Amino acid sequence: MKSETAKRIINEISEETGLSRNVVYKIVMSQYGCLRDTMRAANPEKPETFLSVRYIHFGIFKARMRFFHNMKMNQERIAHYNQEKKRRKELRYGTSDNG
């Protein structure tokens, strides 16, 4: 951990609890692993499967529905672009077969 403040906090917790600094560091960092695993467990095809995660005194992490709308629109634009590219290739060369 590069932050001096974070190192100081971990040292204080370690002294107060009697746990080693390594154990305290792993406990502190495990909450971010939990957040990552919870968000990755969702199905991108179903936005309702993205659960929100609340950290007391820190905030709520949740997926924005606007992101899914934009992602869907981008996929449609990419599909349209690929179809248009294929159509123009067929017009230029006659066919798109590998032969």
Query: How many residues are recorded in the chain?
Result: 99
10-residue block means of pLDDT along the chain (99 residues)? 83 92 88 81 78 81 76 78 88 68
Residue-level pLDDT at 32: 81
Residue-level pLDDT at 42: 81
Give the start-to-end residue ranges of the domains of the chain: 1-63, 64-99
Residue-level pLDDT at 3: 83
Please state, in angstroms and rounded to a whole number, the distance separating the CA atoms of residues 59 and 62: 10
Question: Whole-prediction pTM value?
Answer: 0.44
Residue-level pLDDT at 23: 92
